[in-house]
């Protein structure tokens, strides 16, 4: 019975350490889902912006896994580059950058966005919108945004603000954090077998 209590205590301590390590190492990315099913039919544009005030703390935003009914060739201006796998990298150099893509309305558009930024005073904002040739769709302006607060305590430097019912944002732990936790659990199991 005593052996069982010791094993349970060790397992609890190891689990706590794994979770703590995962929390400390996690840099969450955000998954964005834009629902255009109620915004009409036909062609419109999806806009992504990463903007910083003059002298903002250097920062970047990386957009991956962009999916939906995308049409034509996108247009980028300012500090944004497209990678060979479709990854978009924005920086706030020179005020930031904009990226626009023609889309077919009526479905969902999704992407993941992650950020890198250091300590500082002035932050930056990543935002998304849907518009046609004459006006914004859904609301008059951005459908959602994520603000970077470099002056905040580590781990609390992001504020996600979906502005309406047309888009949702959720923070997701990095896969590397989940892998770290699984690896630690596997090592504990191996150690237990060796001792048995």
Q: Are 108 and 160 members of one domain?
A: yes
Q: Are 20 and 87 members of one domain?
A: no
Return d(Cα 31, Cα 51) in angstroms, integer: 19
Tens digits of per-residue pLDDT, 165-178?
A: 899 988 887 555 44
Q: Are 55 and 113 members of one domain?
A: yes
Residue 46 confidence (pLDDT): 98
Angle at 60 between CA 54 and CA 65, to 5 degrees: 140
The mean pLDDT of 53-66, rounded to a whole number, is 90
Confidence of residue 23 (pLDDT cuts 50, 70, 90): very low
Q: Are 105 and 150 members of one domain?
A: yes
Q: Which of 2-11, 63-72, 112-121 has the lowest mean pLDDT?
A: 2-11
Tens digits of per-residue pLDDT, 94-104?
A: 899 999 999 99
Return d(Cα 60, Cα 146) in angstroms, integer: 12
What residue numbers bound the domain in which 52 lies?
A: 28-172
* Site of tokens 């706590």: 16
**How many domains does the chain contain in total?**
2
């Amino acid at each position: 019975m005593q052996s069982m209590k010791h094993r349970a205590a060790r397992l609890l301590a190891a689990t706590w350490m794994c979770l703590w390590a995962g929390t400390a190492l996690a840099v969450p990315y955000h998954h964005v889902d834009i629902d255009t099913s109620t915004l009409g039919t036909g062609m419109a544009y999806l806009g992504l912006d990463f903007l910083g005030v003059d002298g903002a703390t250097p920062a970047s935003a990386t957009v991956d896994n962009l999916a939906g009914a995308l049409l034509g060739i996108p247009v980028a201006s300012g500090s944004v580059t497209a990678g060979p796998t479709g990854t978009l990298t924005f920086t706030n150099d020179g005020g930031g950058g904009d990226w626009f893509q023609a889309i077919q309305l009526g479905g969902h558009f999704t992407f993941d966005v992650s950020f890198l930024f250091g300590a500082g005073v002035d932050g930056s904002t990543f935002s998304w919108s849907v518009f046609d040739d004459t006006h914004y769709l859904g609301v008059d302006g951005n459908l959602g945004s994520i603000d970077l607060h470099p002056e905040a305590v580590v781990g609390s430097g992001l504020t996600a603000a979906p502005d309406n019912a047309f888009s949702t944002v959720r923070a997701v732990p990095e896969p590397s954090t989940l892998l770290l936790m699984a690896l630690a659990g596997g090592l504990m199991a191996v150690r237990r077998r060796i001792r048995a």
